[in-house]
Amino acid sequence: MNPQALASPARWLQRFVADVDVPPASDYERWWRDRGQAISDAVDRAGTPHLRMFDAQGRRIDEIQFPPEYWDALARGYEAGLVWRAFAEPRSLLPGFVLGYVTSFFDPGIYCPFTVSLSTAVPLDKYAGEEVKARLLAPMLARSGRCWQGATWMTEARGGSDLGAAVETTACSIGDGTWRLNGDKYFCSNVGAEVALVAARPDGAPAGVRGLGLFAVPRLRGDGTLNHTIRRLKDKIATRSVPTGEVELRDSEGWRLGPEQPGVYLILEALNLSRIANSIGSVALAQRALADALAFGCERVAFGRPIVEHPLLGVQVRERIAALEAASALAWEAARQLDVVWRERPPYSEQYDLFRLMAHLSKYWTAENAVQTARWAIEVFGGAGTLAENRVERWLREAVILAIWEGTPHRQMLDGLEVMERKGAHHLLLERLRAGAEPGAIEDWSLRLERFLAQDRADREASVGPVFHDLALFAGHALAQRVPKLAPKPDHGAAAG
């Protein structure tokens, strides 16, 4: 296997999204090789950034102090179009996802600010009033200069999966279209963003998830003072290139989005968009880990030949490439399904239900594959893989976070089960997979799912793990049959950078 076939994210993507034209993708990749990777490495080595809470006059400012080069890296991505391209004709999410893939190949953590900014901009565009869009959305879609960033803050100290019970933040209307929010958000990614979407319960709303609302909350009030404060920054295992913290909302000014709709639908729209971006980032990380391992294996000589030429490792390389192809096919099919339905509003179509199931399968399996591939890459490096200077240990740290972000594997399984039970989305999925499946495989899967869903609720939930796992693998491999095969070449090439 030629390492060069894996060393370029843009080249790899030509097999999966050749129809998506993103003019700056190659230049953007070149910038990451020439400049961005060194910035990323420095930020990761530095660990948790410093939070400067007060200025010299004692005024609260909550300034997150990354090195200046970090902000240059963010500006490069925003200018390239990781957010604004979704709103340019023909209104497609795919160009931004392509750029996100390139970003994640070099730094999966820094893709998070772009992801949550997009997940903020889309609901603002769909559900905010014109005045709110002019104030909050327009600065997020700037194509040069310092773009405003977004964030999605749902989680509180009691957790994120059961939002109906965990969200204690309240919202009170003051009668002029604005609301005042009070509460504490516990796990806030991109905590310094200029705009955040916040889950809160309006006064008088019923208990449970259907009583929640989604609110747009700016970082600054109209008079320029802080609209909320950062209690502290989190010291995390990885993703050090995105600041994560705890936020205190105290009579914070906000605007409700889509008041005619239960807020849970809007929350899930933002969450599912981020799940697709998480899938894209997971596949890019797996490609990077595999590329680094393969390049190392071509150079490391043991027992008279490069270790990649040893039969056992050769088999493992082929298995990992097949898994990467399947994960890539699954992630990009889910992204394409989202691109069809992302502008829908409730009540959603059957196509949207299919997207939901694909999102859960993709988020689950691409993240699991990223963890497996990163762990395997360390094994290829041996002792050298444990050293931070060789970077490969970082890919495992980053992959572990990707498996947790936007819902754990358990959450994906249970939400996927729900959309099969209530919407029958698996029927559409199986028909979508038929063209790439072996003869009789669709019928076998239809029977297996029918028997699985015929169990009582407790038994379905208890046994969903193997079914969901196998369905994700089947979907990925069936979809990969439509993708042009990777032709091996004899030269050894060089490391990914």
User: Three-state SS for 257?
Assistant: coil
In the chain, which segments carry CATH 1.10.540? Answer: 4-141
What whole-number percentage of the chain has pLDDT above 90? 92
pLDDT confidence band for 485 (50 / 70 / 90): confident
Tell me yes or no: is domain 264-480 CATH 3.90.950.20: no
User: Per residue in 404-440, pLDDT tens?
Assistant: 999 999 999 999 999 999 999 999 999 999 999 999 9
If we measure between CA atoms, which residue out of 329, 392, 334, 273 comes closest to residue 13?
329
pLDDT confidence band for 155 (50 / 70 / 90): very high
If we measure between CA atoms, which residue out of 152, 151, 150, 149 comes closest to residue 163?
152
In the chain, which segments carry CATH 2.40.110.20? Answer: 150-261
Q: Is 472 in contact with 330 (CB distance < 8 Å)?
A: yes
Q: Is 158 in contact with 184 (CB distance < 8 Å)?
A: no
Instruction: Check pLDDT > 90 for residue 378.
Output: yes
CA distance 113 to 101: 14
CA distance 291 to 288: 5
Phi/psi of residue 322, each to 5°? -65, -40
Instruction: Check pLDDT > 70 for residue 363.
Output: yes
409-423 and 441-453 are packed helices; what angle lies between their axes, rounded to 10 degrees? 90
CA distance 450 to 3: 43
Q: What is the pLDDT of residue 468?
A: 98
Tokens of 339: 């691109």
User: Per residue in 274-295, pLDDT tens?
Assistant: 999 999 999 999 999 999 999 9
Instruction: Check pLDDT > 90 for residue 3.
Output: no
Instruction: Check pLDDT > 80 for residue 139.
Output: yes
If we measure between CA atoms, which residue out of 469, 462, 478, 242 comes closest to residue 368?
469
Give the pairing type, strands 301-302 and 244-256.
Answer: unpaired
The b/e string for 114-146 (b: 16+ C-beta within 10 A; e otherwise) is: bbbbbbbbbbbbbbbeeebbebbbeebbeeeee
In the chain, which segments carry CATH 1.20.140.10? Answer: 264-480
pLDDT confidence band for 493 (50 / 70 / 90): very low
Q: Is 263 in contact with 199 (CB distance < 8 Å)?
A: yes
User: Per residue in 301-342, pLDDT tens?
Assistant: 999 999 999 999 999 999 999 999 999 999 999 999 999 999
CATH number of the domain located at residue range(s) 4-141 in this protein: 1.10.540
If we measure between CA atoms, which residue out of 100, 56, 149, 66 comes closest to residue 332?
100
User: Per residue in 66-101, pLDDT tens?
Assistant: 999 999 999 999 999 999 999 999 999 999 999 999
Instruction: Check pLDDT > 90 for residue 146.
Output: no
Tokens of 493: 């090439």
Average pLDDT, the chain: 95
- What mean pLDDT is predicted for residues 449-476? 98
Tokens of 297: 């294996």
Q: What is the pLDDT of residue 277?
A: 98
CATH number of the domain located at residue range(s) 150-261 in this protein: 2.40.110.20
Tokens of 111: 């893709």
Q: What is the pLDDT of residue 489?
A: 47
Sequence-distant (6+) residues with CB within 8 A of 194 are: 136, 139, 140, 148, 149, 150, 218, 219, 220
If we measure between CA atoms, which residue out of 137, 140, 266 comes closest to residue 199?
266
User: Three-state SS for 268?
Assistant: helix
CA distance 21 to 98: 9
CA distance 458 to 354: 24
Distance from the Cα of residue 232 to its chain's centroid: 24
111-127 and 263-299 are packed helices; what angle lies between their axes, rounded to 10 degrees? 160
Q: Is 95 in contact with 168 (CB distance < 8 Å)?
A: no
Q: What is the pLDDT of residue 488?
A: 52
Q: What is the pLDDT of residue 395?
A: 98
Instruction: Check pLDDT > 50 for residue 495.
Output: no
* Residue 92 Cα distances to 21, 45, 337, angstroms: 11, 36, 11
pLDDT confidence band for 490 (50 / 70 / 90): very low
If we measure between CA atoms, which residue out of 401, 415, 432 comes closest to residue 468?
415
